Amino acid sequence: MENITFNLAQLHQYGTAFYEFLSLRKRFFVDQLGWSIPHDDDVEMDQYDNPKAYYSLVLRDGKVIGGTRAMATTAQWGSHTYMLRDAVAGKLIGIPADILPKADATTNVWEVTRTVISDDVTTQADRSLCLSLMLDGAVDVARGKGATELMSLSPVAMARTLRKLGYDAQRIGEPYRNKEDGRRYACVSMPTIRSNNGKVHAISRDACGPQMLKPTHMAQPHAVHAPTVL
């Protein structure tokens, strides 16, 4: 497995990787979880896939098998900021406005969203490695921009999973149950540094529902994130 990180200005360097990530997101968040989010027959893409976003993807044999999206909490694109801040402001459907006491905009904190691992990654060891690689990529990008903390809206088991990977993760705010998939989610925060020198432990399949690497992914022939209030 290998990790690649990029933003929209650099995605052309990585062949079809970005599109494969959007396709993987559609299969998981839409087809499996049944979320009502923007998509077509092939991909899922929302308002936070904009020039302020960075992506950390994991490849195996040239194919995207996992990935996540990262964005500074100071980001602003049109009427949108970052997902959790928009939720607290009441701009999103399905995420409670009290999910966090307050959603600040600060250079110290980045938000991670749309974390997904392919069902093709079947062993616990491989899923642990995949998650570890994608998180390390996101951490490298965020730390390179001055961040000391990452946060996300994740399944409630994620804090424990991140601690097994060596990140001192803690839940912030109270959990809630998503009406579309029936799962419980909560906000999680972790520092942008490991506490155990990078030792990776196995994770369960349920846990997962600005250094730029050299281009390695060339073209091959072959989640809570809610809609905007209208």
Q: Does 215 fall in a domain?
A: no
The residues, any chain, with a CB within 8 Å of residue 73's CB and separated by 6 or more, are 81, 82, 85, 103, 104, 105, 106, 109, 110, 111
What does the pLDDT read at residue 72?
Answer: 98
Q: Does 66 fall in a domain?
A: yes
DSSP string, 97-132: TTSSS-----TTEEEEEEEEE-TT--SHHHHHHHHH
Q: Does 213 fall in a domain?
A: no
Domain harbouring 87, CATH code: 3.40.630.30
Above 90 in pLDDT, residue 206? no
Q: Total structural domains in the chain?
A: 1
Q: What is the mean pLDDT of residues 14-18?
A: 96
pLDDT digits (tens, 9 = 90+) for 25-54: 999 999 999 998 999 999 999 999 999 999
Q: Does 31 fall in a domain?
A: yes
Mark out the alpha helices in the chain (DSSP H runs): 17-25, 83-88, 124-144, 158-164
pLDDT digits (tens, 9 = 90+) for 50-81: 999 999 999 999 999 999 999 999 999 999 99
Q: Does 61 fall in a domain?
A: yes
Above 60 in pLDDT, residue 210? no
CA distance 52 to 48: 8
Q: What is the mean pLDDT of residues 183-201?
A: 78
Q: Does 84 fall in a domain?
A: yes
pLDDT digits (tens, 9 = 90+) for 96-142: 999 998 899 999 999 999 999 999 999 999 999 999 999 999 999 99
Q: Does 223 fall in a domain?
A: no
SS3 of residue 118 by DSSP: coil
Range of the domain at 166: 2-208
